[in-house]
Amino acid sequence: MKRLRRRAAPPPNERARAIGVFDSGIGGLTVVQQLARLMPHEDIVYLGDTARTPYGTKSPETISRYALENAAFLLDKGIKLLVVACNSVSAVALGLLEQELPVPVIGVIEPGAREAVRRTRNGKVGVIGTEATIASGAYTRALKSLAPELEIYTRACPLFVPLAEEGWVDNEVARAAARRYLASLERSGIDTLVLGCTHYPLLAPVIAKVLGPKVQLVDSAGTTAQAVRGLLQRQKLLRNNGSGSLSFFVTDAPERFIKVGSLFLGQPVESAVRLER
């Protein structure tokens, strides 16, 4: 704990500092896309732990250790706020990061849960995510704390991650996986489904087709970006002018990140720097 805190001496102009974002790999770029859209004047420094992805199949202890290492790297960059753009990390290590870091920390679970509560009409909410996220029960806790009367149905959909990375988001394989994973949620009568994984927004069209128009999809990337802007505004740390920049760091060879990343970022990833660890 002391190590992380000592690393981050606040520079004189706090508002000018970058927003730090990390994810297990590529998926967090869906959050970066929304952050950059909503806050075009901000510098964003992103770390994708591509050497150790996926996190969603790993234990809470391992995910927590990786999360602290990623946060330490971004703190060294002098960030003013940390966005944990990974549902699996937000599910198991958000409390730890909040406790250890000297800057505000925002995860993707609370904003997604809040939006689902706002949108549901029949009180039946579904959540899909990685095995780590679903096993943690973090979404269920967040939803219940906001609206204890909700009925919540969850399902891990691990195959959606490689499908999204392969760009197989609207073919017969994606449709078959979606039908299989979502069958029980469909039967439960949910009217709202939280896409509780950074990769799932790419599969939103196929998920929407399987569940039909009565089920609304909540993408936590957009709601997280709104939460970040709100927090920066309240703390008078939001930049109002200047053109923001995007810098990408990865822990493995950058070529695949640059190639696949554009699918998640919605624009070309120009370059990425590999960290030596």
Least Å from the CB of residue 55 to ligand DGL: 4
Closest distance between ligand DGL and the C-beta of residue 121, in Å? 27
- Between CA 35 and CA 202 the distance in angstroms is 17
Q: Is the dihedral of CA 238, 242, 246, 249 positive or negative?
A: negative
Q: Name the residue type at position 84.
A: V
CB-wise, 27 or 111, nearer to ligand DGL?
27
Q: Which is nearer to ligand DGL, 8 or 85 (CB)?
A: 85
Nearer Cβ to ligand DGL (78/112): 112
Is residue 197 a contact point for ligand DGL (CB under 6 A)? yes
User: 43, exposed or middle or buried, with CB in 10 Å at 0-12, 13-18, 19+?
Assistant: buried
Active site residues: 86, 197
Nearer to ligand DGL, 30 or 192 (CB): 30
- Which one, 17 or 53, has the nearer CB to ligand DGL? 53
- Report the C-alpha gap between 186 and 218 in whole angstroms: 16
The site string for ligand DGL over 135-174 (x = CB under 6 A, - otherwise) reads --------------------------x-------------
CB of 49 to ligand DGL, least distance (A): 8
87 touches ligand DGL (CB under 6 A): yes
- Please enumerate, as own/partner, the contacts of 176-179 that have beta carbons within 8 Å and a separation of 24 or more: 178/203, 178/206, 178/207, 178/209, 178/210, 179/210
Q: Hey, what are 168's tokens?
A: 């197989």
Q: Hey, what's the torsion of the CAs at 30, 36, 39, 41, to 10 degrees? A: 160
Instruction: Give the residue at shortest CB distance from ligand DGL.
Output: 56
How many residues lie near ligand DGL (CB under 6 A)?
17
Window 25 to 54, contacts with ligand DGL (CB under 6 A): 25, 27, 53-54
Residue bearing tokens 């994606």: 174
CA distances from 98 to 133, 241, 264 (A): 18, 29, 27
Interaction of residue 251 with ligand DGL, rule CB under 6 A: no
Site map for ligand DGL, 67-86, x if CB under 6 A?
Answer: -------------------x
Candidate residues 64, 120, 198, 216; the one interacting with ligand DGL per rule CB under 6 A: 198
Residue reference for tokens 């937000």 = 90
Burial of 187 (0-12, 13-18, 19+ CB in 10 A): exposed
Among candidate residues 62, 18, 47, 42, the one with its CA nearest the CA of residue 273 = 47
Task: State in angstroms the smallest separation of the CB of 12 from ligand DGL.
Answer: 34
Binding status of residue 210 toward ligand DGL by CB under 6 A: no
Q: What residue ranges bind ligand DGL (CB under 6 A)?
A: 23-25, 27, 53-56, 86-88, 130, 133, 161, 197-199
